[in-house]
Structure 1
């Protein structure tokens, strides 16, 4: 997207989770009728705080209910929207370390766990590919240095 297009693009506010298991694997989801994998999460409703929206979405999409204290803020990031032409997502991104089982529900058709060091050969949303996967690898490196 050109800079001019970015300025004119419709902005979609979302909250998303980089979910990591204790073995370092990260969870990606694919919504029904789409082909790109992305983080679990979704649009922030009017009057809702990003973390509240994320907790609601994780309950709806994956049947998990983490406490708000379990999330670590990873900042706000912008990327082209995966399934809405001429739109960009403005994502409040949070880290959630969780080993609980997830079950696709609501609009989620498929969940996959990416394992550290494995080749990734799937279609990913721009936010996931360009921002979240590099962040995940950075967190993995920091975790390894702590051990």
Structure 2
């Protein structure tokens, strides 16, 4: 069995409660902004860096709220699992001010309380959306 893919991801919310999802070029699943840490980089630092690179949102690692860590099926690498540390960014963000950059092909804001779309990553459908449904 191949080693898990270690990633950091960030939940970004719009003022109306929608959650930002991104689709990377060459893939068909939507997921959180985020990615793999560089050597020696903490999960929070990786999340902060990836957030700025992928969607232009600047949030220091110390400002990210840890939501948890999960193991889920990798969305875009068949037969692999990810080990994801997930954070929430503070406050809310205007969808018009968030832009796709780096390897991001498309942004989509979703209602976390709605029926999950079939093209969402397993981390979202299996772990994050149920977690968000339980939050006040």
Q: TM-score of the superposition, structure 2-length normalised?
A: 0.89
- What residue is the counterpart of 2:68 in the other structure? 75
- What residue is the counterpart of 1:110 in the other structure? 106
- What residue is the counterpart of 1:98 in the other structure? 92
Q: Do 2:44 and 2:62's aligned partners in 1 also have CA atoms closer than 8 Å?
A: no
Q: Do 1:16 and 1:93's aligned partners in 2 also have CA atoms closer than 8 Å?
A: yes
Aligned-partner SS, 2:85: strand
Number of equivalent positions = 133
The structural deviation recorded for 1:20 is 1.5
Q: Does 1:129 align with 2:125?
A: yes
The structural deviation recorded for 1:66 is 1.2
Cα RMSD between the aligned structures?
1.6
The structural deviation recorded for 1:119 is 4.2
**Larger radius of gyration, structure 1 or 2?**
1
Q: TM-score of the superposition, structure 1-length normalised?
A: 0.83
C-alpha spacing 1:49/1:30, structure 2 compared with 1 (3 Å): same
Q: Which runs of 5+ in 2 are unaligned?
A: none
Q: Which runs of 5+ in 1 are unaligned?
A: 1-7, 143-147
- What residue is the counterpart of 1:58 in the other structure? 51
C-alpha spacing 1:116/1:86, structure 2 compared with 1 (3 Å): closer
Normalized per residue, which structure has more helix? 1
